[in-house]
Structure 1
Amino acid sequence: MSLTILVPTRGRPANLARLWQAFVDTCVEPTRLVALVDNDDPELRGYQDVADRLRDEPFFRMGIGPRLRLGPTLNDAAPKWATRSDAVGFMGDDHLPRTVGWDGRYLAALERLGTGLVYGNDRIQGAALPTQVAMTSDIIRATGRMVPAGLVHLWIDNAWLALGHALDAITYLPDVVVEHLHPIAGRAEWDAGYAEANTDERSDADRAVFEQWQTNDLPRWVQQIKEYERG
């Protein structure tokens, strides 16, 4: 199996370089890191410098496009990569794999599930939420997306957890550490990106979208995925 990790990133080229080095140090499979960068990013030159340094790396890719925010960016990129990889995942630019072979463990778990999702220990939420995740590509191909439509930034991990439970096909690997270096845990400084994403207004809006999706659309997603499996 093959794995592609999508990393939407804004304003933090140093974080992207750090994450790529972590991939070099910990991956045991030919796992792709695909950075998704906004074309209006004030740090765009820094991202281009990272891409220039890594131009000969076969498992690093960078896409630059209009700013869509986190959920829509994943939905824009995931269907394309789902045709090229057996599994597609997400990490933020503030995640950092710590466990050597994490990608092999993710792929082994997904192979056992056949169709499903897997996540590791982010040292903040643990089993409670998949703040980073990988899923078999058939989920994306069946539904046409990776994230429920309308979710901008928050409650996305809640949706992945709800989907995994609805499918009865989600695995948590407590000994596989993909640390979330988030200011909520004192592991990063608050910046403009965190300030924009973590408002009460954003949380309330995304929670309403999540609850509507969970009630009205999640059963349809499950049906589409199961029909895709059978087809």
Structure 2
Amino acid sequence: MRRCLSLIVPTRGRPAKLRRMLDSVAATAYHPERLEVVLVIDADDPASAVTHPRLKVRHVVVPPGRTMGALNSAGYEASTGDYVMLLNDDVTARTPGWDALVFGCLRRFPDPFALVHVNDTLMRDNLCVFPLVSRAFCELAGGICPPCYHRYRIDDHIEDAFNLLAVLGERRIVYLPDVIFEHDNAVQHPEAGVVYMSDPAVLALDAPLFDALLPERKELALRLRAVIEGWTNSTAEGEWRATLAAVGHSFDVRTPGRQIVIRRPWWRPVRESLAALTRLINCARRKNASGFVRAVRNRLARPALTPGSRME
């Protein structure tokens, strides 16, 4: 069965950027028919209810003023894909065949419990900015994310559950450095250069929430470990709980090597270029063939010339 991916995109007041994002996703995806875009739109923002000729776009209309956690949750509830990815409207997909690469790395695991993230050109491998997980994971977690998050730490929350799972011996975070989803949300810092732009006031609200939800993420990691293992054992669970009890802060488990880095094969761009060239050649052949057929049909439709007859 061919798996499908839902892109959950809360958006407000940026239809031009939204259309650019949709165009880039459609232009770079090898299988756009396996994608679903769920736009979460405020009721007072009808201009954001855009569509796309090559993508299945779903609209979820909500009351204005909801938190980002609630918006993502509404998008998830309306989605139908086997996998879901949280995305922003100010993103440009740059990598041809990114969807094939994502589905390919998901097939490496014997079960649907993995976190995949791409290169956003800002946070890169330091933080999973656009998390992609399975619906099975969301069902185990009780949703895509807690609705209480105002704007930030949602990606952190999902990644941290998998970081805790890694502490229990299961590395399930995949980073794709060659899959570029360029993020516009940046400012020029005088010393650090181009950095992620955040609102300190909102961040101050979400940071304590993130810390307070650590016990909940530990319980989720325990459930994930048990499901992956396929059995429950009181002795093993006791050892797992003791291991997680030693984790006092989420940043303690953000260690180098926690991610599985999968590079794009060197030969793939060559194969893609050859495939594109083949498509162009076949298209030209079809056009030439259709032109020849039209010429023959036109000639057969004319009256035959006989000796003594002449064209009028």
Q: TM-score if structure 1 supplies the norm length?
A: 0.83
CA drift of 1:3 comes to 0.6
Higher relative contact order (CA 8 A, sep 6+): 1
Cα-Cα RMSD: 2.3
Q: Partners of 1:34 and 1:134 in 2: how far apart?
A: 14
Asked if residue 176 in structure 1 is aligned to residue 179 in structure 2, the reply is yes
CA drift of 1:66 comes to 1.6
Over 3 Å counting, the alpha-carbon distance change for 1:227 and 1:57 in structure 2 is same
Match of 1:191 in 2: none
Over 3 Å counting, the alpha-carbon distance change for 1:47 and 1:157 in structure 2 is same
Match of 1:156 in 2: 154
Amino acid paired to 1:21: D
CA drift of 1:225 comes to 3.5
Alignment of 1:25-64 (within 5 A): 25-29=27-31, 30-41=34-45, 44=46, 46-48=47-49, 50-51=50-51, 54=52, 57=54, 59-64=56-61
Q: Which of 98, 101, 120 is 2:97 aligned to? A: 101
Percent of matched pairs sharing the same residue: 25
Q: Partners of 1:116 and 1:18 in 2: how far apart?
A: 29
Larger radius of gyration: 2
Contact in 2 for aligned 1:124/1:185 (Cα 8 Å): no
Deviations 1:161-213 (A, max 9, x none): 21222233110011110111113259xxxxxxx99xx4322111100001111
Over 3 Å counting, the alpha-carbon distance change for 1:148 and 1:65 in structure 2 is closer
Deviations 1:128-179 (A, max 9, x none): 1121121111111112211134211111122122122223311001111011
Over 3 Å counting, the alpha-carbon distance change for 1:25 and 1:57 in structure 2 is closer
Match of 1:85 in 2: 81
Deviations 1:44-78 (A, max 9, x none): 2x224x23xx3x55522222122322111112221
Over 3 Å counting, the alpha-carbon distance change for 1:85 and 1:109 in structure 2 is same
Alignment of 1:110-121 (within 5 A): 110-113=106-109, 114=111, 115-121=113-119
Match of 2:237 in 1: none
Q: Which runs of 4+ in 1 moved over 6 A?
A: none
Contact in 2 for aligned 1:5/1:32 (Cα 8 Å): yes
SS of 1:223 mapped into structure 2: helix
Amino acid paired to 2:204: D
SS of 1:89 mapped into structure 2: strand
Q: Partners of 1:133 and 1:66 in 2: how far apart?
A: 25
Q: Partners of 1:163 and 1:2 in 2: how far apart?
A: 23
Match of 1:12 in 2: 14
SS of 2:163 mapped into structure 1: helix
Contact in 2 for aligned 1:106/1:134 (Cα 8 Å): no
Match of 1:189 in 2: none
Over 3 Å counting, the alpha-carbon distance change for 1:142 and 1:35 in structure 2 is same
Q: Partners of 2:182 and 2:121 in 1: how far apart?
A: 6
CA drift of 1:109 comes to 1.9
Over 3 Å counting, the alpha-carbon distance change for 1:20 and 1:221 in structure 2 is same
SS of 1:148 mapped into structure 2: coil
**Which runs of 5 or more structure 1 residues have no equivalent in the other structure?**
187-193
Q: TM-score if structure 2 supplies the norm length?
A: 0.63
Q: Partners of 2:44 and 2:178 in 1: how far apart?
A: 38
Match of 1:144 in 2: 142
SS of 2:107 mapped into structure 1: helix
SS of 1:184 mapped into structure 2: strand
Over 3 Å counting, the alpha-carbon distance change for 1:185 and 1:104 in structure 2 is farther
SS of 1:63 mapped into structure 2: strand
Asked if residue 223 in structure 1 is aligned to residue 222 in structure 2, the reply is yes
